Amino acid sequence: MTITEAVEEGMFQSENPINELNRMLVRYDLTPNQAKVYLFLSKIGIKTASEISKALKIPRTETYHLLSTLQQKGIIFSVFGKPTKFNAVGIEESLEILVNNEKNRVSELDAGKESLVKLWNIIPKYGEDENEDQNNKFQSLQGRNSILVKLEQMIKESKENILVLGTEADFKRFYFTEFTELLNKTKSDLKILTDHSPDMPHIFESVSSKKVKKIEDKNREDFCFIIKDDSEVIFFISNNQVKDMLAVWTDSKAFVTTLRSLFSLMWKKSHHIDETDAESLLGSEITYEHRLREIEQEKIILNYLQENFQILDKDGDIKK
Amino acid sequence: MSDKKGKQREEMQSLKILIIDDNEQITKMLTTFLELKEHKCTIANDGKEGLGLIKENEHDVVLLDLAMPEFDGYAVIKDLEENNLLRERKIIVFTASTITQEELDSLVQRGITSYILKPIDIDKLLSKIVETANS
């Protein structure tokens, strides 16, 4: 296919399969027209700015600007001559360059954080927010990424405890992310309540089984939340599709306390994930024997006190 | 004769005793009993609170229950061990749990001073507390 045929067939115009490629390139921080020019040069080969402008129907001034930006990004290069001609770097190398550019940009942003905060603090705050210190903030988190960022921040900042409640299906969205790794590394007291089928590998398998309990089917509810240090919670509202994921973060004391109580209640009723039914039953027998010994000890002290001092009433309280 | 007097003196000595146990009946009655014997008691009904009090180091002896909800006696022992405090304090494990002799020996080896299994005769309990405090 010649350049004229390709252009005539509209290969570089919209509503063409090549447009899919164009859209994909846009994800690598190219504008639609930059992607179009890059693709054109990649597939057609060395061309002048004027030829590119005509073929892609992009105004000449804009074409020069696009070529200059693509050169700065390092994915096209110019060939000396009169007029100057342009050609594209191979797709694999270009993608590598674009990815590295993004990585460098993120590193620069990260490095600049500290100085930005310093500068920020230099400027005094003129308005006083009366409600700022009250723990009643609510934040809506939409989409997997924004939820993940908040979750990771909560786990990293936690100093006392992290309580996780939800099914494996709820958390499989975070497979292959830092989420489970951070849970595994946390020094806070971690408790996870989840469902688990022995036939399936479970998402929390790297976490010590002592920290994971199985939600009993009879206690199973369709909700999912994570509490940090009894002071913050992320509560999932919709967890079906990655892009539709919706959660609410809050530090509302009433909200956190309610969910904390619910978690404690369910934790008490559940048993550890690697515990068999027999072990679970044995556990309750041990508790029964344990309680009997405690009652026996109470009786011994009570009898002694009644015999020797006669100062206690029937309930074991000191007589006034 | 002098040995007997010495022993009596030891028993008369007022001890500061910390009781960490989630069973409020036991802590309440034990405190009454020990206070009538001229000892001073502090109560913690959970492991976390108890651990804080152990670290303050104001007690001659600590009675530590093992089975407690949330932060249990094992967690207290582990924390003290990690902070090199287990051998610095006089800890008596005071438990009704089903525990093997091997496990008890292991706890002693790790650094607890002694152990008492519930139920125990009240006089024996007192002797053990005094003996541990003076050890």
Alpha-carbon gap: B96 to the closest alpha carbon of chain A (Å)? 5
Looking at residue B9, its pLDDT comes to: 47
pLDDT above 60 (res A203): yes
Inter-chain CB proximity B26 and A301 less than 8 Å: yes
Beta carbons within 10 angstroms of residue B26's beta carbon: 24
Alpha-carbon gap: B98 to the closest alpha carbon of chain A (Å)? 7
Interface mutation vs chain B, best among A270, A297, A302, most B CBs within 10 Å: A297
Of all residues in chain A, the one with the smallest CA distance to B31 is A301
pLDDT above 70 (res A199): no
**Contact, B57 vs B89, CB < 8 A?**
yes
Alpha-carbon gap: B55 to the closest alpha carbon of chain A (Å)? 18
Which chain A residues are Cβ-neighbours of B97 within 8 angstroms? 286, 290
Which chain B residues are Cβ-neighbours of A293 within 8 angstroms? 96, 117-119
Helices (H), A270-315: 277-308
| Residue whose C-alpha is closest to residue A305's, from B38, A313, B94 | A313
Inter-chain CB proximity B118 and A289 less than 8 Å: no
Task: Report DSSP letters for chain B, one per residue.
Answer: -HHHHHHHHHHHS--EEEEE-S-HHHHHHHHHHHHHTT-EEEEESSHHHHHHHHHHT--SEEEE-S--SSS-HHHHHHHHHHTT-TTTS-EEEEE-S---HHHHHHHHHHT--EEEESS--HHHHHHHHHHHHT-
Query: Which fold does the domain A138-272 belong to in CATH?
Result: Endonuclease; Chain A (3.30.870)
Looking at residue A320, its pLDDT comes to: 44
- The whole-number average pLDDT for the span A273-285 is 50
ipTM of this predicted complex?
Answer: 0.86
- The whole-number average pLDDT for the span B103-115 is 92
pLDDT tens-digit readout, A255-268 = 898 898 888 888 87
- The whole-number average pLDDT for the span A151-171 is 87
Looking at residue A130, its pLDDT comes to: 56
Interface mutation vs chain A, best among B71, B99, B122, most A CBs within 10 Å: B122
Looking at residue B1, its pLDDT comes to: 40
- pLDDT band, residue A125 (cuts 50/70/90): confident
Alpha-carbon gap: A193 to the closest alpha carbon of chain B (Å)? 15
pLDDT tens-digit readout, A168-182 = 777 777 776 778 788
Looking at residue A67, its pLDDT comes to: 94
Looking at residue A266, its pLDDT comes to: 84
Inter-chain CB proximity B33 and A290 less than 8 Å: no
Who wins on pLDDT, A205 or A2? Answer: A205
pLDDT above 50 (res B5): no
The residue extents of the domains of chain B are 2-133
Inter-chain CB proximity A305 and B119 less than 8 Å: no
pLDDT tens-digit readout, B17-36 = 999 998 888 998 899 999 98
Q: CATH for B2-133?
A: 3.40.50.2300
- pLDDT band, residue B67 (cuts 50/70/90): confident
Alpha-carbon gap: B20 to the closest alpha carbon of chain A (Å)? 14
The residue extents of the domains of chain A are 3-92, 138-272, 284-320
Of all residues in chain B, the one with the smallest CA distance to A301 is B122
Looking at residue A315, its pLDDT comes to: 57
Q: What are phi and psi of B100, to 5 degrees?
A: -80, 160
Lowest mean pLDDT across A10-19, A140-149, A185-194, B63-72: A10-19
B96 vs A189, A293, A300: nearest CB? A293
Query: Which fold does the domain A3-92 belong to in CATH?
Result: Arc Repressor Mutant, subunit A (1.10.10)
Distances in whole angstroms, Cα of residue A316 to Cα of each of A192, A308, A311, B22, B44: 39, 14, 9, 17, 19
pLDDT tens-digit readout, A281-292 = 445 545 677 888
Residues in A lying within 8 Å of B, measured between beta carbons: 189, 268, 286, 289-291, 293-294, 296-302, 304-305, 309, 311-312, 316-318
pLDDT tens-digit readout, A43-65 = 899 999 999 999 999 999 999 99
Half-sphere exposure in the Cβ direction for A124 (13 Å, CA): 3
pLDDT tens-digit readout, A77-122 = 988 788 889 999 999 999 999 998 888 888 889 888 888 998 888 8
pLDDT above 80 (res A5): no
